[in-house]
A and B are shown apart, each in its own frame.
Chain A
Amino acid sequence: MSEPLQRALDRISRVRGVRGSMWVAAEDGIPVAQLLMEGVKGKAVAALAASLARKVSGAAAATGAGRVRFVQMEAAGGTLLLAPAAQDLLIVALADSRVNVGLARLEMIRAAEAALA
């Protein structure tokens, strides 16, 4: 795994409440690099996050909102966060309800923008 990608995952995973983070090939829904706690199913997170990202991007286009920068899906038992990056990559984080969303978001957008550079 490339060092910058790994460092990004390390920073995101240190945010309180994050149970796992990964880089995902957006078109294929396959993990490229990941850092997951025990019990987190990486393949499922990657495939479903990529599919959700695609659907949300379609809705954003249909509503004239433009290119999506960050998505947060809140649920009763946790949160899924994702940010599109360059070269058909997504940065994804799975978190529990206690997560510091603001901090996780900042780290993910930073990682996504670094991948764009």
Chain B
Amino acid sequence: MSTTTVVEAWTEAPLVRYVGQASARLVVVMTPSGQVLAQHGFARAMDLMSAAALGAAIMASSGALAQQLGEQAFGALFHAGVHHGIHLALCHTPRGGLIVLTVFGRETSIGLVELFYEEFAAALKSAAPVDQVREPVLAKDFEADLNRSLTSLFRR
């Protein structure tokens, strides 16, 4: 089993390659509203939902701060912990903007994560289907979409 699972198939190959190159422990690919398209390393839906929600919230907050400073958006965020680091970035694809949250440990480095994240973002942009621009998710559809994603990711 790969612990990589995806809702949208085009994300799988780039994600598997990225995880291997960067030695990432956990990765979530999601929409800015927190809907998960692909993940690696999560064993429980609850953990994945929390990570996605928090990641999306952090990006939304930093986006608001960027606007206040007159920037369009910040490129990437990096937080360093004692045992783990997180890397959070927004990439633009024909399917719309996607947030990638990466959690990594001491067996790799932020330098390697950043290096391979750039390749990953380019691969997502290249692999994304161009004829299916994602519609904005309405609040009333959100829960249904979320449940469908989780079902697909954890095959419940």
Contact = CB atoms under 8 A, between A and B. Distances in A.
A99 B109 CA distance: 29
Chain B interface extent, by class: under 10
Nearest to A30: B111
Interface string B21-52: 00000000000000000000000000000000
Interface stretch (A43-51, A59-67, A105-113): A43-51
Contacts of A20: none
Contacts of B109: 27-30, 47, 50-51
Interface residues of A, number: 13
A47 to B, nearest CB: 3
Contacts of B115: 29, 43-44, 47-48
B57 interface: no
A29 to B, nearest CB: 2
Interface in A1-28: 24-25, 27-28
Contacts of B114: 30, 43, 47
A43 B113 CA distance: 11
B108 interface: yes
Interface string B86-115: 000000000000000000000011111011
Given A43-B115, A47-B115, A28 B110 contact: yes
Interface of A: 24-25, 27-30, 43-44, 46-48, 50-51
9 smallest beta-carbon distances between A and B, as pairs: A29-B111, A47-B111, A29-B109, A47-B115, A47-B112, A30-B111, A28-B110, A28-B109, A46-B111
Interface of B: 108-112, 114-115
Given A47-B112, A51-B108, A51-B109, 13 more contacts: A28-B109, A28-B111, A29-B109, A29-B111, A29-B112, A29-B115, A30-B110, A30-B111, A43-B115, A48-B112, A48-B115, A50-B109, A51-B111
12 contacts: A29-B109, A29-B111, A29-B112, A29-B115, A30-B109, A43-B114, A46-B111, A47-B109, A47-B114, A47-B115, A48-B112, A50-B109
